[in-house]
């Protein structure tokens, strides 16, 4: 199996990073860190380190100064499940899942997973099943369905579910075959533009403006990471879009947050105005959703030549599942992780990975890709498109290999987490949360803005350092 340094080297090479930059990275810690048969700690450390090294690279391009980057494996994997460690005024977050979310048996003795944390997704599932939103009622209704037809019907009704597949079953699907030739992330030039000059600033991303159109975990983690290195990140949400409060608090650190109604022409005009002055546009809508509103990658490159556009999807941009909705837990289920982890544990059924690791590592890969694309824009000009997906990240993690007897690892307890906790005030109260695990020697990561309720700021950019 590859070492974490070798994994990082592959990521760095894929994104076109200069080879000698790797000499500045120190990786500490040993696997395993969490109970899993998969290399979740190595995935966490290498993805965080890639983003940290990209930030150091940008700083060197801006200032001429090199610096050291250090990532501890335990700190990285703790950060990759930051949400359960959140404490607000000393209180832990509420239960993570809706009452009917989770795994159920079907008539053909298969398993399906339901993701019902958003009301419209719960309603879609109950509409297909023609039952009340109660666990016993859902289970009884699912005994009238085979797993795959239910999965198909639920998606057709705008629900989000997944049939549990083995990795072999997933690999035979046209959706998986379409993704198999693709790397874990792609960086593609999509238009011509002059190189943009760097703004003034004393941090790697200072003065750079990031529009963050994402929810739940992966996309918001990308924005949080860019903010940790100094970017002005504006989280754009809709006034009626549902959100998961504890995730908003955890991933909102360092961000401005504004409401823009993209269903209205006024809202689309507001977003176009923000886009004209942005450097990075990061979004997690399904591949064609924003295109219908006039904000495809090509639209963005026309509105603002030189933009770096970052797209996150569940099942990739190629193949028959490209438009399929999905979350980490569902992609784990559909692509074989839950089946394999269950087998490793000796279970007849699904077993989740010990973190939303597809989400978190994808978030760091998004930030990594965005920064490396920005570096290329500063040298070569052009507009750039970065693409990642939860399924491609899953394929990358799967190919890292397995940990013999990894499930026998003791889970991390409170005293192991304590060194990584920081405390700050926020718009919600006093917040204890996990600090950023990439340690840069000259430009340490921190979040300038506190986490705030959605819509707390006007949809306008703060002045750049040179404009103040």
Residue 401 placed within a domain:
yes
- Cα–Cα distance, 178 to 16 (Å, whole number): 24
Distance in angstroms between the alpha carbons of the first and the last residue of the chain: 51
Could you tell me which residues are beta bridge partners of residue 188?
385
Residue 328 placed within a domain:
no
Q: Which residues contact 269 (CB under 8 A, 6 or more apart)?
A: none
DSSP SS3 for 374: helix
93: left (phi over 0), alpha (psi -120 to 50) or beta: beta
In 184-318 the beta strands, taken as DSSP E runs, fall at 186-191, 209-213, 232-237, 255-259, 280-283, 308-313
Q: Which residues contact 205 (CB under 8 A, 6 or more apart)?
A: 55, 58, 226, 229, 230, 231, 371
CATH of the domain at 417: 3.40.50.10540
The reported pLDDT for the residue numbered 156 is 94
The reported pLDDT for the residue numbered 467 is 47
Which tokens is 16 given? 């076109």
User: How many other CB atoms are found less than 10 A from the CB of residue 288?
Assistant: 11
Residue 219 placed within a domain:
yes
* pTM for the model: 0.97
DSSP SS3 for 361: helix
Q: Residue 193: which domain range?
A: 4-94+179-318+354-440
Residue 260 placed within a domain:
yes
Instruction: Compute CA distances 447 → 62, 236, 422, 423, whole Å.
Output: 20, 18, 11, 12
Which tokens is 49 given? 């380190």
Residue 84 placed within a domain:
yes
Residue 310 placed within a domain:
yes
Contacts for 445-450: CB closer than 8 Å, 24+ residues apart? 445/52, 445/55, 445/228, 445/229, 446/228, 447/224, 447/227, 447/228, 447/253, 447/254, 448/227, 448/230, 448/254, 449/227, 449/253, 449/254, 449/255, 449/256, 450/253, 450/424, 450/425, 450/426
Of 438, 366, 357, 437, nearest to 400 (Cα)?
357
In 192-305 the beta strands, taken as DSSP E runs, fall at 209-213, 232-237, 255-259, 280-283
- Cα–Cα distance, 147 to 143 (Å, whole number): 9
Instruction: Compute CA distances 428 → 432, 459, 464, whole Å.
Output: 11, 20, 27
Biggest CA–CA distance in the chain, Å, is: 65
The total number of structural domains in the chain stands at 1
Q: Which residues contact 195 (CB under 8 A, 6 or more apart)?
A: 306, 377, 378, 379, 380, 381
Q: What is the pLDDT along the chain (468 residues), one digit of tens a residue?
A: 999 999 999 999 999 999 999 999 999 999 999 999 999 999 999 999 999 999 999 999 999 999 999 999 999 999 999 999 999 999 998 888 899 999 999 999 999 999 998 899 999 999 999 999 999 999 999 999 999 999 999 999 999 999 999 999 999 999 999 999 999 999 999 999 999 999 999 999 999 999 999 988 999 999 999 999 999 999 999 988 888 889 999 999 999 999 999 999 999 999 999 999 999 999 998 878 899 999 999 999 999 999 999 999 999 999 999 999 899 999 999 999 999 999 999 999 999 999 999 999 999 999 999 999 999 999 999 999 999 999 999 999 999 999 999 999 999 988 999 999 999 999 999 999 999 999 999 999 999 999 999 999 999 999 876 543
The reported pLDDT for the residue numbered 465 is 67
Residue 45 placed within a domain:
yes
Of 196, 232, 217, nearest to 459 (Cα)?
232
């Amino acid at each position: 199996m590859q070492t974490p340094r070798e994994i990082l080297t592959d990521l760095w090479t894929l994104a076109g990073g200069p080879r000698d930059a790797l000499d500045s990275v120190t990786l500490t810690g040993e696997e395993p860190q969490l109970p899993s048969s998969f290399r979740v700690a190595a995935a966490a450390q290498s993805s965080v380190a890639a983003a940290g090294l990209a930030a150091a690279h940008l700083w060197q391009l801006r200032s001429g100064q090199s610096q050291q980057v250090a990532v501890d494996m335990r700190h990285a994997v703790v950060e990759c499940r930051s949400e359960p460690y959140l404490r607000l005024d000393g209180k832990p977050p509420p239960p993570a899942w809706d009452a009917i979310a989770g795994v159920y048996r079907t008539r053909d003795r298969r398993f399906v997973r339901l993701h019902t944390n958003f009301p419209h997704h719960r309603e879609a599932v109950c509409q297909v099943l023609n039952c009340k939103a109660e666990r016993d009622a859902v289970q009884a209704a699912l005994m009238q369905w085979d797993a795959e037809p239910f999965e198909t019907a639920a998606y057709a009704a705008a629900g989000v579910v997944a049939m549990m597949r083995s990795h072999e079953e997933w690999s035979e699907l046209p959706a998986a075959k379409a993704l198999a030739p693709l790397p874990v992330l792609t960086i593609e030039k999509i238009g011509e533009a002059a190189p943009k000059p760097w703004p003034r600033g004393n941090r790697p991303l200072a003065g750079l403006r990031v529009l963050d159109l994402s929810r739940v975990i992966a996309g918001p983690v990308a924005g949080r990471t860019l903010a940790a290195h100094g970017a002005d990140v504006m989280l754009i949400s809709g006034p009626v879009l549902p959100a998961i409060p504890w995730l908003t608090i955890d991933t909102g650190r360092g961000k401005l947050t504004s409401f823009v109604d993209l269903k209205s022409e006024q809202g689309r005009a507001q977003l176009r105005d923000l886009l004209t002055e942005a450097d990075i546009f990061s979004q997690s809508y399904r591949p064609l959703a924003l295109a219908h509103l006039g904000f495809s990658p090509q639209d963005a490159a026309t509105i603002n030549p030189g933009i770096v556009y970052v797209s996150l999807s569940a099942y990739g941009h190629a193949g028959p599942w490209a438009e399929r909705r999905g979350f980490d837990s569902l992609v784990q289920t559909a692509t074989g992780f839950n089946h394999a982890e269950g087998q490793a544990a000796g279970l007849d059924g699904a077993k989740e990975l010990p973190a939303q690791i597809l989400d978190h590592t994808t978030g760091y890969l998004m930030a990594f890709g965005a920064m490396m694309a920005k570096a290329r824009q500063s040298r070569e000009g052009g507009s750039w498109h970065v693409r990642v997906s939860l399924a491609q990240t899953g394929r990358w993690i799967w190919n890292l290999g397995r940990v013999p007897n990894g499930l026998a690892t003791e889970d991390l307890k409170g005293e192991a987490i304590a060194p990584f906790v920081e405390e700050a005030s926020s718009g919600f109260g006093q917040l204890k949360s996990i600090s950023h695990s990439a340690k840069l020697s000259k430009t340490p990561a921190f979040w300038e803005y506190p986490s705030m309720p959605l819509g707390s700021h006007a949809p306008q950019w703060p002045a750049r350092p040179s404009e103040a």
